[in-house]
Structure 1
Amino acid sequence: MPAAAADRAEELRRLHLDPAILVLVNVWDAASARTVASVPGCRAIATASWAIAAAHGLDDGEAIGREAMLDAVRRVADAVALPVTADLEGGYGATPDEVGETIARAIAAGAVGCNLEDGVPGGEQLRDAQDAAARVAAARAAADAAGVPIVINARTDTYLRGIDDPEAAILRGQAYARAGADCVFVPGVTDAATIKALVDGIDAPVSVLARPGAPSVSELQDLGVARVSFGPGPMGVALAALARTASDLLAGGVPADELNYRPPAA
């Protein structure tokens, strides 16, 4: 497993350095993973913690717990041949050592990439930047020990917490890159000029979250963004389609052709 996992991790790392932006349409289970992986142009799979928690009837913010989250990651990784990067929220641990254990277990579950965020679960505050960097360093050390160069996408929640300060995000991003992060994720930014400032100011590939009102994927590539993901958005699209279909059928409508769709086989 380590050799194959290491190869997938290196491929995921290469995709972050490719001139073409890495587009990650987030998934939450085996069926959604197989569906996205089957689409031409899909090069990697990313889980979304919010969507996985919602599929379990839970709120986001580590309410699902480490065991259930890693089980969900394993199901996704087992379902596809592409590299899988897992949204591991804050790392499911109070200490850097516990975060390192989470990373080791995520690798064992099949993940070759991970998100680690610096927001405190269930709160509005951010972790101290040095503490957050130490957690990134522990994740890197755990991956090194496992022999799998997992791609760490270190997320700073400055903008999600209402801090409209590019310099603060840049300083945190730089600290996380020095600690071993391969990519810096700044969700919550939609202004093109700010995104460009982050790309220019952080000495690592930059990842953003796309949502209505954000620049298009092509525009993000032109701004120098290395990676774009959509968080719970794809699940929202799927559930909105389900709600529309249910409404139509309950109103006596004709069954749509989409009712014949099935996820690709493993």
Structure 2
Amino acid sequence: MLTSTDRRAAFRKLHVSGCFIIPNPHDAGSARALQHLGFKALASTSAGFAWTIAKADNRVTLEEVCAHLAALCEAVDLPVNADFEGGFAHEPAKVGANVSRAVKTGVAGLSIEDSTGDAAKPLYDRTLAIERIKAARAAIDADNSGVLLTGRCEGFLVGQPDLAMVIDRLQAYSEAGADCLYAPGIKTRDQIATVVKAVHPKPVNLLIGASGLSLAEAADLGIRRISVGGSLSRAAWGGFMRAAKEMAEQGTFTELGNGYPGGELNKMFN
């Protein structure tokens, strides 16, 4: 197994040039499967993990997330980026303390969002949001861990699709110490290209769900990293729920025939 130092160095190298997919497993098994398929790095998904423990997204605890991150890092020999939501705290100092805990799980990177979870005021004030990124940066640097910090602006996901505002925040997060920038929800080529240009030379993460650009098309726009959020988890739940509903509502079992072969799964995990 590679050391945390090795994985963190490899993760940073992936951001230097080209474009790579960083898929989002929801547990140790799905992480191992993605490693088996040849992906070079993985990222956790807050929603996907929450559903595995019968919780809604953004309802898990810091302790649950840190245990989950440690399990992912132990399951694979790849860099793991943590979806660390909003740092599980409001105040910068507490965000920093929580980031320090996350670093100890062995992750190679983590992201901090600027969403509050409050529908009446969905984004933190700009100044506070910047201070939260600075606190995360300081916590990462305290022991020279080399963990890569991603700064996220959630404007497009919380009903504030103001590209100028999003770019202003991403630039501020970059200056505050974010190594990678992320604006989940941007979709058009113009939006993506504008964000990439605005934060250059810092790398940009692009979220792609059920539809969107291909890897090659995203690379042409200057994207360095593509994640899929909870999409793989939703796909897995889709198969599960279709089969379960068929049994419950019709008393038939045809959907079970679409499952992945058990023998192949045993080979992969052997």
TM-score by length of 2: 0.90
Percent of matched pairs sharing the same residue = 31
Equivalent residue for 1:64, pick from 22, 37, 60: 60
Q: Tell me which of 30, 33, 43 is aligned to 1:32.
A: 30
Residue in 2 that maps onto 1:101: 97
Write the letter of the residue equivalent to 1:8: R
What amino acid sits opposite 1:258 in the alignment? Y
Relative to structure 1, the CA distance from residue 252 to residue 126 in structure 2 (aligned partners, 3 Å threshold; closer, same or farther) is: closer
Distance in 1, Cα, partners of 2:35 & 2:190? 32
**Cα pair 2:113 2:153 within 8 Å, conserved:** yes
Distance 1:57 1:195, change over 3 A: same
Extract unaligned runs of 5+ from structure 2. none
Q: Provide, for residues 50-72 of structure 1, a one-character-per-residue CA deviation record: whole Å limited to 9, x for no partner.
A: 111111111222x2110011111
- Assess if the C-alpha contact under 8 Å between 1:6 and 1:147 holds in 2: no
Q: How many corresponding residue pairs? A: 262
Task: Decide whether aligned partners of structure 1 residues 30 and 165 sit closer, same or farther in structure 2, where only a CA change above 3 A counts.
Answer: same
- 1:157 has 2:149 as partner: no
Whole-angstrom CA distance in 1 between matches of 2:52 and 2:110 = 20
Partner of 2:241: 243
Residue 237 of structure 1, CA deviation: 1.0
- Secondary structure of 1:60's partner? coil
Matched, 1:76 2:77: no
Offset at residue 38 of structure 1 (A):
0.9
The 8 Å contact of residues 190 and 213 in structure 1, kept in 2 or not, is answered as no
Counterpart in the other structure of 2:131: 134
The answer to whether the Cα contact below 8 Å between 2:210 and 2:231 also exists between their aligned partners in 1 is no
- The whole-number CA distance in structure 2 between the counterparts of 1:30 and 1:252 is 28
**Aligned partner of 2:43: which letter?**
A
Q: Give 1:197 deviation, angstroms.
A: 0.7
Q: Secondary structure at the match of 1:218?
A: helix
Match of 2:107 in 1: 111
Q: What secondary structure, in the 3-state scheme, does the structure 1 residue paired with 2:127 have? A: helix
CA apart distance, 1:247: 5.5
2:14 paired with 1:15 = yes
CA distance in 2, matches of 1:189, 1:236: 20
After superposition, the CA RMSD in angstroms is 2.1
Return 5+ residue gaps in structure 1 as ranges. Answer: none
